Amino acid sequence: MDFDLMSAVFRRLSLEAGDKIMEIYGRDDFEVKSKSDDSPVTAADEAADEIISAGLRAAFPDVVLVTEEQSDSHSAKADNFIIVDPLDGTKEFIHRRGDFTVNIAYVENGVPIRGVVYAPAKGRLFYTDATGQSVEETGDFAKDSAGPAAPMSVAKPDNGALMIVASKSHRDQATDDYINKYNVKDSKSAGSSLKFCLVATGEADIYPRVGRTMEWDTAAGHAVLTGAGGHVVRFDDHSPLIYGKQDYANPFFIAYAPGVDLKPA
């Protein structure tokens, strides 16, 4: 696999999709429909999916592509595949809270090893470079040339004063019960895959998810966190979270910086 090409294509397509998403976000009104699982979908989800899918199929015609918005892609099974959530955080988008992202990732043998997370309303762009190191880019986000990018690294956590990030739209009692086992210095809420990125940048130490997610929700953020030195494990047995599962559904999980005690009293 040509990871220089992959990094450039993932980055460009995320920016192009982000432009379209923000165009629709800026409208006075946009239609919100319900999918078969009752989750919302907007014109922005569909337009971003079209941009990303066309670009990926042109650049990587031999790689299996799985996207949230194309249910026929969910039956595709392969050891190596690209997985896309064209608009993660649709509820954040609908309520105009800004915490939504474009997610594109490459999975190899069950492990997300390359990914991009772009938060267009926040002006934040995170991705793994060709070597697998995660960076956050600043600047004007030109489509065909990367701007200044700083390497990302997880923080060294203090188990006596942890920084925790949790879901904004899906916070529940089970999550709070788990968080309350820790000595918490600060707890913040964030939407979409931004939570992985906040751990990757050292802005948080741990992100527990005691709730339903799909692989396209997490793969890109997982790759970015891994490239910054972090880990993502199953909630139940702390084994690595793997991809390419039946129906692409995730178990509960914990994303964290090494050194966090995953078995608090």
* Rounded mean pLDDT, 60-66: 96
Enumerate residues 6+ apart whose C-beta is below 8 A from 50. none
* Rounded mean pLDDT, 192-214: 94
Handedness of CA 172, 210, 67, 97 (dihedral sign): positive
- pLDDT score of 170 more than 70: no
* Eight-class DSSP state of 249: B
% pLDDT > 70, the chain: 94
Q: Dump pLDDT digits (tens) for 109-126.
A: 999 999 999 999 999 999
Cα 254 from Cα 156, distance rounded (Å)? 17
CA dihedral 103, 68, 86, 175 (to 10 degrees): -50
Cα 73 from Cα 147, distance rounded (Å)? 33
Q: What is the CATH number of domain 3-151?
A: 3.30.540.10
Handedness of CA 168, 71, 227, 243 (dihedral sign): positive
Pick the CATH number of 162-256 from 3.40.190.80, 3.30.230.10, 3.10.310.70, 3.40.630.30: 3.40.190.80
Cα 167 from Cα 145, distance rounded (Å)? 33
Q: Dump pLDDT digits (tens) for 21-33.
A: 999 888 877 776 6
From residue 171, give the alpha-carbon distance in Å to each of 67, 167, 188: 25, 5, 11
* pLDDT value at residue 246: 85
CB contact at 8 A, 130 and 7: yes
State pTM to two decimals: 0.93
HSE of 163, CA atoms in CB hemisphere, 13 A:
16
Angle at 219 between CA 259 and CA 126, to 5 degrees: 75
CB contact at 8 A, 225 and 231: yes
Say if 3-151 and 162-256 have the same CATH topology. no
Q: Dump pLDDT digits (tens) for 69-109.
A: 887 778 888 999 999 999 998 788 888 888 899 999 999 99
Angle at 227 between CA 130 and CA 264, to 5 degrees: 170
Mean pLDDT (the chain) is 91
Domain boundaries along the sequence of the chain: 3-151, 162-256
